[in-house]
């Protein structure tokens, strides 16, 4: 064999080895499989050094009372009206977003049973007349699946969230609980590939535990989330998961409808949102930037730096001016899982 031929043969062998090393268990070249679970120091998180503004005690306590009243109203009267509530840290005032009539609102924000400071806060509620929807919908992913991709059962479209691992080392993908029933076979949005079977559904109107989450399993899922636009093939690795910080102003979501959008400010981590699928709390309320839209339900909500994505939760609702996200901490405790990193 000539020297040139030997060199060419060696190059081919190296290239073949590199190709095989980047092929997932499902045979999709270039996409990593499930990475190891793990933690990263919170001092490396993008929010490190941001101090959340202290909320007035009267407003915080009044919010708790109002949220209890809202939950009781929804439990007794159904989900004809929607409600979103939190304390705006910039103003110290309670924000109530609802399409309920004034007669209903007045029963929810009244001063009855409240201490003086709480009554004052209740009397200064900032009312926003708006309906909040969780009817949320890049679009043709291949295993190992990434967070932020389009998923469908043939009729309803949502977005995938982030991969998690349980104590038995089984890896699943999180999405919003209002998307699909337990046992549903979910495909990629293009309907070209099986994505997973739904289990562990938690939804306030069904399980009565103020949650909006479920798992999809049976395929291969990686610790990465899509970046870029709605037909993007780019991604970043998941670094860790934890709590959101009120006042941090560069959170991101990444969903099939709006793609990746950052510049969101977390205005509350004790918010409540009540939609046609019941009341969920505590959840993250966030504003600013290009917010989530229909089809983005389930999409990851995260902070981002040069290391990758720091998961804080997944999108569950929005109304154009405020969006809401289920928290990572509730997902972790509900399922006994850890985050899968990339």
DSSP 43-90: GGSTTTTPPPPPPPHHHHHHHHHHHHHHHHHHHHH-SSS-EEEEE-TT
| Dihedral, CA of residue 27, residue 28, residue 30 and residue 34, to nearest 10 | -80
Out of 38-47, 208-217, 251-260, pick the least confident: 38-47
Out of 38-52, 254-268, 300-314, pick the least confident: 38-52
Residue 117 has which token pair?
């400071």
Residue 169 has which token pair?
């080392």
Residue with tokens 């708790």: 64
| Radius of gyration of the chain from its Cα atoms, rounded to whole angstroms | 22
Nearest-angstrom CA–CA distance, 52 and 249: 11
> Is residue 296 a contact partner of residue 258, using CB atoms and an 8 Å limit?
yes
Q: Count Cβ atoms within 10 A of the Cβ of residue 14 and give its class: 0-12 exposed, 13-18 middle, 19 or more buried.
A: exposed
Nearest-angstrom CA–CA distance, 89 and 139: 37
Q: State residue 39's pLDDT score.
A: 64
pLDDT digits (tens, 9 = 90+) for 13-26: 433 343 333 333 34
Residue 134 has which token pair?
């969780």
- The stretches of 109-189 forming alpha helices (DSSP H) are 116-123
Q: Quickly state the pLDDT bin for 32 (edges 50, 70, 90).
A: low
Q: Is the pLDDT of residue 105 over 80?
A: yes
Nearest-angstrom CA–CA distance, 260 and 266: 17
- Contact residues for 205 (Cβ-Cβ < 8 A; gap 6+): 79, 276, 277, 278
Q: State residue 1's pLDDT score.
A: 44
Q: State residue 166's pLDDT score.
A: 97
**How much of the chain exceeds pLDDT 70, in percent?**
86
> Average pLDDT for residues 35-47, to the nearest whole number?
74
Of 222, 210, 243, which is closest to residue 46 (Cα–Cα)? 243
SS3 206: helix
- Specify whether domain 42-47+134-339 bears CATH 2.40.10.10: yes
Q: State residue 53's pLDDT score.
A: 61
Q: State residue 81's pLDDT score.
A: 94
Kindly list the distances between the CA atom of residue 168 and the CA atoms of 24, 331, 337, in Å, as whole numbers in the listed order. 21, 17, 10
Among positive and negative, which fits the CA dihedral 193, 314, 73, 99? Answer: negative
Nearest-angstrom CA–CA distance, 37 and 32: 14
DSSP, residue by residue, 81-114: S-EEEEE-TTT--EEEEE---HHHHHHHS--TT-
Per-domain residue ranges for the chain?
42-47+134-339, 57-129
Nearest-angstrom CA–CA distance, 145 and 226: 10
What's the pTM?
A: 0.77
Q: State residue 54's pLDDT score.
A: 64
Q: Is the pLDDT of residue 4 over 80?
A: no
């Amino acid at each position: 064999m000539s020297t040139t031929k030997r060199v060419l043969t060696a190059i081919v062998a190296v290239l073949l080895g590199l190709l095989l090393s980047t092929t997932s268990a499902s045979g999709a070249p270039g996409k990593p499989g499930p990475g190891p679970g793990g933690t990263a120091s919170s001092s490396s998180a993008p929010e490190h050094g941001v101090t959340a503004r202290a909320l007035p005690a009267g407003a915080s306590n009044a919010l708790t009372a109002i949220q209890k009243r809202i939950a009781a109203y929804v439990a007794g009267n159904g989900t004809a009206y929607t409600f979103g509530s939190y304390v705006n840290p910039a103003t110290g005032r309670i924000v109530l977003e609802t399409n309920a009539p004034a007669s209903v609102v007045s029963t929810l924000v009244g001063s009855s049973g409240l201490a003086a400071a709480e009554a004052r806060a209740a009397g200064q509620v900032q009312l926003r007349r708006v309906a909040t929807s969780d009817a949320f919908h890049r679009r043709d992913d291949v295993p190992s699946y990434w967070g932020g991709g389009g998923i469908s059962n043939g009729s309803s479209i949502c977005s995938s969230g982030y991969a998690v691992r349980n104590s038995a080392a089984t890896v699943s993908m999180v999405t919003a609980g209002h998307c699909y029933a337990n046992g549903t076979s979910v495909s990629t949005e293009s309907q070209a590939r099986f994505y997973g079977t739904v289990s562990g559904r938690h939804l306030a109107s069904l399980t009565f535990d103020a949650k909006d989450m479920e798992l999809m399993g049976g395929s291969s899922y990686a610790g990465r989330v899509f970046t870029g636009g709605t037909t993007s093939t780019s991604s970043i690795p998941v670094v860790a998961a934890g709590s959101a910080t009120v006042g941090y102003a560069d959170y991101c979501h990444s969903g099939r409808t709006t793609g990746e959008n950052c510049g969101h400010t977390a205005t509350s981590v004790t918010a409540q949102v009540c939609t046609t699928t019941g009341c969920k709390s505590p959840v993250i309320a966030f504003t600013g930037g290009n917010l989530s839209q229909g089809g983005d339900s389930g999409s990851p909500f995260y902070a981002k730096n040069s290391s990758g994505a720091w998961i804080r939760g997944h999108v569950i609702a929005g109304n154009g001016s405020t969006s809401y996200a289920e928290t990572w901490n509730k997902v972790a405790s509900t399922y006994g899982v850890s985050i899968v990193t990339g």
